[in-house]
Structure 1
Amino acid sequence: MPHAIEARLAELGLELKSAPAPAANYVPWVISGNQIFVSGQISQTEAGLITGKLGADLSTEQGAQAARACALSLLAQAKSALGGDWSRLRRLVKLTGFVNCTADFTDQPKVINGASDLMVAVLGEAGRHARAAVGAPSLPMGVAVEIEAIFEIA
């Protein structure tokens, strides 16, 4: 029987792909004590990178979809860190989201809601978290969004 997280993903019509490989000299996650620190996950899908600048090239809704893609990668990394054992996951503690945007764009929280909303939809109350949503003048490879996470584990 699939774990509740896998079942919820399926109900939402979502599937976790393999955890993305690091793009530079770092590891995708580190377990320290009872926490998993997941490195920033960039906005990408099977079709490729989601690039662009909010306030110029992309709408807030497109940015939220990019953040949602980041959230799926964060979950894939957490699953990898746990060796697939979702029963060890206690909660999402914090998300820190970076939005590639123009200087006058102020809807970073609405963009990062794409990730926050997905985490709550998948993890329920355990998906409610502390958060930061920060605007950035550019992000690696021109991606629209990058998000890092901290999860609590057993």
Structure 2
Amino acid sequence: MTAFDPDLEEVHVREHPLPGSARFFELTLSGGTVLEIFTQSDSSDSHLAVLPPDADTPVVNLRLSKAEAITLSSLISGVKFVVRTHEGTDAADTAGPSTVKLRASSPAVGKTLRQIEAPEPDQAQVLAVIRDDTEELLEGDVERRCTVGDRLVLVGRPGALARLVRYLNG
């Protein structure tokens, strides 16, 4: 592991939530090359595209398996969990992170994190709130109620996570 270097350039990944469980990630490299990652956890229609600067079409366009798409999107998001069952059995579904921006129709609006009732709390949970009006990365006030525009940090197994996102979208 290398030491943190504050002079290193920050890398920004833009995530664009799409209908259902689909996600679109866009990462612009220092030379202007763009990596586009489209993931859809409930189908095999996931891919990675590489677009050089000023190109209209990708020079690389790879189809990803479901496991590759989950792994790649988890790495980009910064977290990957593998939940294992008892020794000698196969690994359970991968649990990954996600975020959801609260709309006015969300059942979480007006509730504290403790009051949000996830449909399958043993499979997917709300972990934290990200707010633009605080200096902290994650909101520290556990009694503050969720408002429209808050981003909830979620973690869960793929199917349950998709259902939690749908529930929170109202």
- State the TM-score, normalized to the length of structure 1: 0.28
Larger Rg: 2
Name the structure where strand makes up a greater proportion of residues.
2
- State the TM-score, normalized to the length of structure 2: 0.26
RCO comparison, higher one (Cα < 8 Å, 6+): 1
Name the structure where helix makes up a greater proportion of residues.
1
